[in-house]
Structure 1
Amino acid sequence: MRRFLKSFGYSFEGIAYAFKFEANFRFHMAALIIVAFAGWHFHLSLSEWLWIIAVSGIVIMAELFNTAIEVLVDLVSPEIHPKAKIVKDIASAAVLIAAILAAIMGFIIFIPKL
């Protein structure tokens, strides 16, 4: 059980690392806070909150995966390599797609409320 609980600490260390060193992670966290306040202000329904939580979680997870991939690529390929760039670009593209989908969902939910 102690080992299981300790694993949560490692997870929080990962989140802290991303927050400290990744500007895009901080941007997405700030956007999440703004969206949460907007949701509170516009009294979102339960289903709207569920969609917001789902797409927000996907964006944050994508950003964390991207950060992990970037750190790993830098470890195994410290020199600039074309394939290392491709790996990083693809991971970054996944974050972009997640963020675009989240923005579309946000527009669908919030525009009718304006």
Structure 2
Amino acid sequence: MSSPFKGQAGVRRIVNAAGYSWAGLRAAFVGEAAFRQLLLLNAILIPISFFLDVSRGERALMVAVCLLSLIIELFNSAIEAAIDRISLERHPLSKNAKDMGSAAQMVGMSVIAVVWAMILLG
């Protein structure tokens, strides 16, 4: 049984999904300072990776972990928006959800630091 909220099929579904994705990226850029900061970090680190004397595999990993931080931030922002939509009341479960999203981003940033350090210092 499919959800009554599901949309079109085929090419129309892909076009709709692309539009929703762009809307999500725009919402993150406009409404989330952390997303803009991570974009800036990516705009610095990714080009730098192309000037370093590393293998293609290492460069791909350096770029991938940078992009992973953006993915994590999108999920973190989505969790925060959903929690705030449900209620602005302070609740331990809401705090846990938001804190776990933040922790995921901290782990993601740690992965960037560790991967870059291992490649550059190893």
For residues 9-66 of structure 1, give each alpha carbon's deviation from its aligned partner in whole angstroms, at most 9, with x where no partner exists.
1001101111111111111111111112211222442111210122122211111000
Partner of 2:38: 28
4+ residue runs over 6 A deviation: none
| RMSD over aligned Cα atoms | 1.5
Where is the helix percentage greater, Structure 1 or Structure 2? Answer: 1
1:86 paired residue among 73, 82, 96: 96
> 1:39 and 1:47 mapped to 2: Cα distance?
11
The one of 45, 48, 63 aligned to 2:58 = 48
Gaps of 5+ in 1: none
**TM-score where L is the length of structure 1:** 0.89
| Mapped contact 2:28–2:77 kept (Cα < 8 A) | yes
Identical residues among aligned pairs (%)? 33
Q: Is the 8 A contact 2:46 2:66 kept in 1?
A: no
Give ranges in structure 2 of 5+ residues lacking alignment. 1-10
Matches within 5 A, 1:42-81: 42-81=52-91
| Bigger Rg over Cα | 2
TM-score w.r.t. the length of structure 2 is 0.83
